[in-house]
A and B are shown apart, each in its own frame.
Chain A
Amino acid sequence: MKRFLLGLVVFGLLAVPTAEAGKKKPAPPPVVAATPPPPPPDPEAWRATPPAATPERPWNAPVPDVIQLSNGVPVYFLKNDALPLVTVRLHMDLGRENNPAGKAGLGALVANLLDEGTKNRDASGIAAAALGLGAELSVTAGAEGIDLSLNALTGEALGPSLDLLAEVALAPAFRSADFKRVQAEVLADLAANRSNPRSVASEVMLQQVFGPDHPYGYPVGGTTTSIAGLKPGDVKKYYKDWWQAGSAALVVVGAVDQETIVRELEARFGGWKRKAIQEPALIAPATLLKTRVVFVESPGSVQSMLLVATPGVARNAPDWHAANVAGTWVAGMFSSPMNMVLREERGWSYGAYGGFTEARDYGLFAVRSSVQADKTAPAVAEVLRVLGEAASKPPSEEMLNLSKDNLRKSLAGSFDTNATTAASLAAIPTYTLGATAWRDFDRQVEVINAARVASMAGRWFRPERQLIVVVGPRTVKATDASGAQIDVDVVKELQALGYEYVEVKPE
Chain B
Amino acid sequence: MRRSSLFLFTAALATAAVAQAATTLSPELKFEKYILPNGLEVLLSEDHRLPLVSVNLWYNVGAGSEVAGRSGFAHLFEHIMFQGSRNVAEDTFFPMLEKAGAPLVNGTTDFDRTNYFETVPSNQLDLALWLESDRMGFLLDTLTQERLDNQRAVVRKERQQSVENVPYVPGEERLFQLLFPDPHPYYGFVIGSHKDLEAATLDDVKGFFNSYYLPNNASLAIVGDYDPATIKAKVEKYFGSIKAGAEPPPVGERTQPITAERRDVVKDEVELPRVYFAWVGPRIFKDGDAEMTLAAQILGASKVGRLEQALVIQQPIAQEVLVAWYPQVQGSILEVSVTGRPGQTAESLEAASWPVIEAMRSTPVTADELMMARRTWESSRLRGLEQLGGFGGRADVLNQYNLLAGDPGYLPKDFARFAAVTVDSLMKVYAETVKKESRVVVHVVPVGGEK
Contact = CB atoms under 8 A, between A and B. Distances in A.
Contact of A48 (B87, B93, B94, B241): B87
A135 B304 CA distance: 14
A418 B322 CA distance: 27
Interface stretch (A77-85, A165-173, A238-246, A459-467): A77-85
Contacts of B375: 131-134
Interface in B376-419: 376, 378-380, 382-383, 385-388, 391-392
Contacts of B157: 18
Interface stretch (B78-86, B256-264, B430-438): B78-86
Interface in B314-369: 316, 319, 322, 324-326, 335, 341-342, 368
B316 to A, nearest CB: 6
Contacts of B78: 15
Contact of A151 (B21, B83, B301, B383): B383
A425 to B, nearest CB: 15
Nearest to B86: A47
A57 to B, nearest CB: 4
Contacts of A83: 6-7, 9, 27, 382, 385-386
A53 B123 contact: yes
A195 B122 CA distance: 43
Interface string A11-28: 111111111100111000
| Secondary structure type dominating chain B contacts | mixed
| Secondary structure type dominating chain A contacts | helix
A55 B27 CA distance: 34
Interface in B271-329: 271-272, 293, 296-297, 301-304, 309, 313, 316, 319, 322, 324-326
Contact of B106 (A12, A56, A413): A12
B51 A59 contact: yes
B121 A56 contact: yes
A82 B126 contact: no
Contacts of B376: 131, 134
Contacts of B6: 82-83
A5 B109 CA distance: 12
Given A3-B335, A132-B20, A17 B388 contact: no
Contacts of A412: 50-52, 103, 121
A13 B391 CA distance: 13
A185 interface: yes
Contact of B123 (A2, A56, A131): A56
A416 B386 contact: yes
Nearest to A44: B241
Contacts of A17: 79, 82-83, 91, 93-94, 151, 154
Question: Which of under 10, 10 to 19, 20 to 34, or 35 or more describes the interface residues of B?
Answer: 35 or more
Contact of A335 (B4, B83, B99, B146): B99
Contacts of A123: 303, 313
B50 A4 contact: no
Contact of B19 (A84, A132, A405): A132
Nearest to A194: B271
Nearest to A129: B20
Given A156-B23, A188-B272, A14 B303 contact: no
Interface in A308-329: none
Contacts of B124: 53-54
B368 A132 contact: yes
Given A11-B190, A133-B20, A334-B94, A16 B106 contact: yes
Interface in B9-46: 9, 11, 13, 18-21, 23, 25, 27
A184 interface: yes
B18 to A, nearest CB: 8
Residue from the set A24, A133, A191 with the largest chain B CB neighbour count within 10 Å: A133
B107 interface: yes
A309 B379 CA distance: 42
Interface in A335-362: 335, 344
Contacts of A419: 383, 386
A160 interface: yes
Interface string A475-490: 0000000000000000
A3 B391 contact: no
B85 to A, nearest CB: 10
Nearest to A48: B87
B324 A3 contact: yes
A11 B3 contact: no
Residue from the set A14, A18, A48 with the largest chain B CB neighbour count within 10 Å: A14
Nearest to B128: A51
A480 to B, nearest CB: 19
Nearest to A187: B342
B130 A11 contact: no
Contact of A408 (B101, B108, B146, B304): B101
A155 B9 CA distance: 13
A335 B98 contact: yes
A297 to B, nearest CB: 17
B127 A50 contact: yes
Contacts of B158: 14
Interface string A24-54: 1100000000000000000110011011111
Contacts of A57: 51, 121-123, 225
A324 to B, nearest CB: 15
Given A82-B386, A406-B98, A157 B21 contact: yes
A165 to B, nearest CB: 15
Nearest to B108: A12
A226 B154 CA distance: 41
Nearest to A19: B91
Contacts of A273: none
Contacts of A153: 21, 23, 25, 379, 382
Given A3-B335, A409-B100, A160 B21 contact: yes
A40 to B, nearest CB: 16
A82 B7 contact: yes
B221 interface: no
B117 to A, nearest CB: 10
Interface string B101-124: 111101111100000000101111
Interface of B: 3-4, 6-7, 9, 11, 13, 18-21, 23, 25, 27, 47, 49-52, 75, 78-79, 82-83, 86-87, 91, 93-96, 98-104, 106-110, 119, 121-127, 129-130, 133-134, 137-138, 146, 150-151, 153-155, 157-158, 162, 167, 190-191, 225, 241, 271-272, 293, 296-297, 301-304, 309, 313, 316, 319, 322, 324-326, 335, 341-342, 368, 371-373, 375-376, 378-380, 382-383, 385-388, 391-392
Given A1-B296, A134-B375, A412-B50, 15 more contacts: A1-B293, A10-B162, A47-B133, A53-B126, A124-B303, A127-B302, A131-B304, A133-B21, A134-B379, A136-B383, A157-B23, A184-B316, A335-B95, A408-B101, A410-B101
20 contacts: A1-B325, A1-B380, A11-B75, A14-B75, A14-B158, A14-B162, A15-B106, A23-B153, A44-B241, A50-B87, A59-B51, A124-B313, A131-B304, A133-B20, A153-B25, A405-B101, A406-B101, A409-B100, A413-B104, A418-B386
Interface of A: 1-5, 7-20, 23-25, 43-44, 47-48, 50-57, 59, 80-85, 123-124, 126-129, 131-136, 151, 153, 155-157, 160, 181, 184-185, 188, 191-192, 195, 333-335, 344, 402, 405-406, 408-410, 412-413, 415-419
